[in-house]
Amino acid sequence: MKRLFTVLLTFLICACMMCGVSADSSKYALHTDIVAYINDAPIRSFNIDGFTGIVAEDLLQYGFGVKYDDSIRTLEVYRLNNKITSTYTPEELTAPVGAKKAKIYDTDIKTYLDGNLVQSFNIGGETIIFIDELLCYGKVVWHPEERKICYNYVDSWSIDLHEINRESDLSQPINSFTLNWQKTPDGYVSEGENLDYLDYLRLYCDWQEGIKIGFSLYQRVLFQTEELNNLLRETVTVRYDGELLAENADKANEHIKIYINGEEQKITKVSQGKGNGHTDYYFHLDTNIAQEDITRITVICK
């Protein structure tokens, strides 16, 4: 019954979408020997201008939600972490690579992934998006030797960057801190300045917010960290209550330098949290690096 419902839902979506296509398109999807995968399961794909396109409606069978609203002509794709139910088997080539396979039509339907508008096309009443758009949820890797392109979910993870020494002298006022974190075969080594003033210093990753570095300033060091706290407050772009304070993180990038494996990372936003006796700061980074690839982290705040 669940499988029948999915098939009927996809059919209805496709039928509605046929109303908004433009018939004057001269573009074609081409035959390709490249196979696309979602978490190791093959998915229908097309070659469009040298890029791999997939059918957005098919993502219903690959752990995603797909919602079409005909009244406002929108298609929303969002990750649900559902199990993959697809039984699709890659088709054998029926024409030379590069030969025309299907006509591409323009569409007035707006397609959103994770709330962001993405480029989309219409082929046979179905919505085509580029597989690279799924980077907002995970990792896309091209394997030229095997002629395949693979998207894999990124599960949430975190790395504790420093373990506080409760015997440290925290009586001195501070206005800066530094961190040098190094991965070793036996674990990790963490050193720097003023780190024991910061609680829960971690590198986080989740598929909704990406990668960020966060820490808390507790009441026990309220007066010693007052100057640092004032500096950090100036970098915040999204307050703890959700209020947008700034469109960009220029202030944060001016005062805080973050390096992963020696490469400087751009801070895209700074969000603030608040709890019982502490204030939290999260520095969101413009990177999709995998946890296993991280060997060195440096943070300089001044």
Where in the chain are the domains?
Answer: 2-153, 157-301
67: helix, strand or coil? strand
Alpha-carbon distances of 119 from 106, 113, 214, 215, 286, rounded to whole Å? 10, 10, 33, 37, 21
d(CA 158, CA 291): 8
- Beta-strand (E) ranges in 8-61? 21-30, 35-38, 41-43, 45-48, 51-55
178: helix, strand or coil? strand
pTM of the predicted model over 0.75:
no
Amino acid at the residue 260? I
pLDDT per position as a tens digit, 111-133: 999 888 999 999 999 999 999 99
d(CA 71, CA 169): 63
pLDDT per position as a tens digit, 178-218: 999 999 998 899 999 999 999 999 999 986 678 999 999 99
Residue among 194, 162, 200 nearest 175 (CA): 194
The whole-number average pLDDT for the span 221-242 is 95
11: helix, strand or coil? helix
Whether the per-residue pLDDT at 23 is higher than 70: the answer is no
Structure tokens at 279: 């204030």
